Structure 1
Amino acid sequence: MFEIRIICEAPDRESVVNGLRSQFNIGRVHSSLSLTSGGERLYITADLPAANPWPTPEQAYADAPAADYELEWARVTLMGPPLSPGLNREYRIRRAAALDRMALGLAPDFGIPVTPEDATGAAIHLMGLDRAAGLGPSGHADGPYAPDHPESTRNPRGYVRQEFAIWHKNNQ
């Protein structure tokens, strides 16, 4: 934690605070009149933001096949023989990733609106499958977070992005 002191003109106060908020985790802003400039003195406690452990959607899906291709692949795959464990995991990853992209607006919804809750549900299903298979820190696709890691539990769609990016890199 550190403290920031800024002297600014009163009309600039809001933009200064918003700029700091975009770069740091800030606490309460204390202010007083500046004796030298007639502006305001701002005292703000701040922390550096935590690093985002997940690939961004743009990183995870940069070279991904089109969502309509992925959904068609998933449909055809389900119509075939029962899924082996490996194919079931591939199906879950690809389907969850397509739903995540659609919920984010990175892919068209093809007339079937996909909500963030739909994408989260598919992500939780993938995590449950991985957890049941005993895929942990050394057994899942070599990503930094296992399906039962607290970060994965907090952000299931981040887990999908991690797993899809690794799966896609290994299966191009």
Structure 2
Amino acid sequence: MFEIRIICDPSETDRITTTLGAAFTTGAVRQAPTRDRTRARLYVTAEHTPEPEWPTPEQAYTGAPSIARETRWCSEHVDHPDYDGEGDREFWIRWAALLDRHALNARARGRRSPTEADAEHVARHLMDIDGATVICDPRHYVRQQYHRWLTHP
């Protein structure tokens, strides 16, 4: 636990308090004017927000369809006349996980695959679709979301 002291313009106290609450687990914010009474002093006790539990690749992809089957599903889905792309969360989860699995397989064979960059890019796109504000490795986020989708469709 630690304490944060901020001196700011009184009009910024709500925005700062909200931002701190998003970044840390915080206690009550205590506020007092500065000596010259032109600014506000904020005092808040805080703790680092615990890192979420990220599933390992093995945990995330246990019970997943084969890579070949997922590749087929993604290809057929994209080729479908009703496919509109952006808003189809299931597609983006499955596509991101497929690229992650390809990159993991290449790494296991001691190779760096161009799929690594693609996996990162599509993972970030999924985070954008979800409006995810977590700070993490985007591929960890994909594994978490794929595991949730796979176990609770």
Q: CA RMSD in A?
A: 2.7
Could you tell me which amino acid in structure 2 is paired with residue 79 of structure 1? D
Q: Deviations over 1:99-120 (max 9, x none)?
A: 101100179xxxxx54311111
1:157 and 1:83 map into 2 onto residues whose CA distance is 24
The match for 2:55 is 55
Distance 1:82 1:72, change over 3 A: same
Instruction: List gaps (5 residues or longer) in structure 1.
Output: 1-49, 108-112, 132-146
2:120 and 2:85 map into 1 onto residues whose CA distance is 22
Distance 1:93 1:69, change over 3 A: same
Contact 1:102 1:114 survives alignment (8 Å) = no
SS in 2 for 1:98: helix
Instruction: List gaps (5 residues or longer) in structure 2.
Output: 1-49, 108-112
Contact 1:99 1:114 survives alignment (8 Å) = no
Percent identity over the alignment is: 39
Could you tell me which amino acid in structure 2 is paired with residue 163 of structure 1? Q
Q: Deviations over 1:74-102 (max 9, x none)?
A: 11011113337897100000010011011
Distance 1:125 1:51, change over 3 A: closer
The match for 1:142 is none
User: Which structure carries more relative contact order (alpha carbon 8 Å, separation 6+)?
Assistant: 2
TM-score relative to the length of structure 2: 0.57
SS in 1 for 2:88: helix
User: How many residues are paired up?
Assistant: 100
SS in 2 for 1:149: coil
Could you tell me which amino acid in structure 2 is paired with residue 118 of structure 1? D
Could you tell me which amino acid in structure 2 is paired with residue 120 of structure 1? E
Could you tell me which amino acid in structure 2 is paired with residue 164 of structure 1? Y
Contact 2:87 2:129 survives alignment (8 Å) = no
SS in 2 for 1:92: helix
Q: Deviations over 1:112-165 (max 9, x none)?
A: x5431111111011111111xxxxxxxxxxxxxxx1112xxx310000000000
TM-score relative to the length of structure 1: 0.51
